[in-house]
Amino acid sequence: MCILQIGELVGILSDDLKTENNDVAWKEIRGMRNVIVYDYGNVRLDVTWETVINDIPLLKEQCVKILADSDEEKEDK
């Protein structure tokens, strides 16, 4: 469910934010959400486990950096 929620939240991010941070796999995150929601019978546990162990920690690092950069921009204004 957490992976599904991450995919849902990615869907409401602005296109500008996603374009400015194109190193994040936004499309793949949303795609995994869609598989979980619409094609759950074909969810591969090995891919899901790989996502939990490797991809989500990387995404967390990327999000922390985006937020830090945003805070720096606000301070500069």
User: Which run of H or of E encompasses 64?
Assistant: helix 56-76
Identity of the residue numbered 43: V
What CA–CA distance (Å, rounded) separates 77 from 9?
28
Give me the catalytic one of 3, 10, 33, 35.
Answer: 33
pTM (2 decimals)? 0.85
- Residue 24 and residue 18 in contact, taking contact as beta carbons nearer than 8 Å: yes
33 is catalytic: yes
Rounded (10°) CA dihedral 69, 70, 73, 75: -100
| pLDDT tens-digit series, residues 31-52 | 999 999 999 999 999 999 999 9
More confident residue, 71 or 7: 7
pLDDT of amino acid 42: 92
Residue 71 confidence (pLDDT) above 90: no
What's the mean pLDDT when you consider all of the chain? 94
Chain centre distance of CA 39: 19
Identify the band that residue 11 occupies on the pLDDT scale cut at 50, 70 and 90: very high
Tell me phi and psi for residue 18, to 5 degrees: -65, -35
